[in-house]
Amino acid sequence: MAHLFLFTLLALSSSLPSIFAAHTAGFHLRLTHVDSGKPFSSTGRIHHLVQRSLHRRKVLESRLANNPSASFNVPVKASMFDYFIEYSIGTPKLPVTGVLDTGSEVVWAKCRPCSEQCDEKGIGIYDPSKSSTFSKLPCSSPLYDYQPLKSVSVPKCEYVYVYGSAMINGFLATETFSLGAESPTVNLTFGCNRLVKGTFSGASGVVGLGQGKLSLVSQLNLGRFSYCLTPFKSSSKSHLILGDLASAKKASSGEVQSTPFLNATDQYYVAMRGISIGVNLLPIPASVFEYSKEESTGVVVDSGSGQTQLPQSAFDVIKKELQSLVGLRVKDMSKTVGLDLCFGLSSWPPPPLPDMVFHFDNGADMRMPQMNYMFTDKRTRAYCLVMRPGQNGDKLTIIGNYQQQNMHIIYDVASRMLLFESTPCESF
């Protein structure tokens, strides 16, 4: 039975030697949406997306505040992540399934013997004693002093790490990973978890592509990676590209835009300067989106969040503009779809809306058609904005994956640039 292995996207670090030099072209992998093949209605799927986004925010809150105990007691019943990927671990190869997430910094796997969640139905767990290529790192390894593993004081040869509402305990090791049928087998340092509590129910680990020296991209010394997410209601698989294949103008139908990453070490921050709907530049001060590590503000591009989060002041301006454009009464659909702004429709189809545009540094414009920011459902007459305001004064902006549909998003970690282009991802 395939392991569920949560897959998070990580960034480049030149401190580790390349073990991927012979395959610099990289490779192309398929991504499956977490709700694919499940008997959910459209409203059920969007409701689950909202819940996952809220859980995801708890994880980011814990990381950005550098608070290992933040949100530890939050109960989580749904997966926090949206996209799965298949690969193998160990010798002989054991098939596993992972999840796409651009925020985590370390590769994890559930290991036997374990003390909790060892016998979940349908979840296989990696057994290092059955792999000939498993090797435990010595207690003297300096990697135990790596900051993400120092969240809680524990014995030298172990770590305890709080990941949002989950806690994991284990040790460091090396093992072989195969990231697809045509990819090379590579050795990676990873965390072998014997205790897993909370959010990781229904999964067997995490592999990160965030900004840290233990990330997948750093360990493989890749210069860039990209993904192309198919539309929310599509049954087609999405795409993940690792290495030099992650280049712009691949099946592109739009101009390539680029904006630099900010010099932040924890997440993929960019500088956003404003928001337009149609030809109207909305009256939102650029200062609303300014980055501050101390205040946990700024704009993060995050594949692991479903819906975009905005500071309350920015959300209110967008809400007012949409109310003016739509011209319909606001309808409370929080119990059915979980979204903050919905309109009551008496007829179908809903009134069309112009593109929404996020304006970034370097003149880059992320242009989103109506389907990238509004959810529609004929059966329930739902017509809702798939964005939410920050809670309790939260001023962080998170650009979620719903807004990234049909876009080729390229993380050029070597050049510290984010590139994006409008692309029909179903034919990517």
Interatomic CA distance for residues 237 and 230, integer angstroms: 7
Tokens of 28: 């192309």
Do residues 103 and 210 touch, judged by C-beta distance below 8 A? yes
Token pair, residue 250, equals 């691949």
CB contact at 8 A, 212 and 193: no
Q: What are phi and psi of 54, to 5 degrees?
A: -65, -40
By DSSP bridging, strand 238-242 and strand 257-260 are unpaired
Tokens of 133: 């290529």
Tokens representing residue 114 in the block:
């374990």
User: Cα–Cα distance between 90 and 34 in angstroms, integer?
Assistant: 25
SS (H, E, C) the chain: CCEEEEEEEEECCCCCCCCCHHHCCCEEEEEEECCCCCCCCHHHHHHHHHHHHHHHHHHHHHHHCCCCCCCCCCCCCCCCCCEEEEEEECCCCEEEEEECCCCCCCCEEEECCCCCCCCCCCCCCECHHHCCCCEECCCCCHHHHCHHHCCCCCCCCCEEEEECCEEEEEEEEEEEEECCCCCCEEEEEEEEEEEEECCCCCCCCEEEEEECCCCHHHHHCCCEEEEEECCCCCCCCEEEEECCCCCCCCCCCCCCEEEEECCCCCCCEECEEEEEECCEECCCCHHHHCCECCCCEEEEECCCCCCEEECHHHHHHHHHHHHHHHCCCECCCCCCCCCCEEECCCCCCCCCCCCEEEEEHHHCEEEECHHHCEEEECCCCEEEECEEECCCCCCEEEECHHHHECEEEEEECCCCEEEEEECCHHHC
- Could you say which of 35, 266, 302, 377 is catalytic? 302
Cα 154 from chain centre: 29
- Rounded-to-integer distance, Cα 410 and Cα 301, Å: 11
Instruction: Clarify whether 101 is annotated catalytic.
Output: yes
Active-site choice (35, 101, 266, 394): 101
Active-site amino acid positions:
101, 302
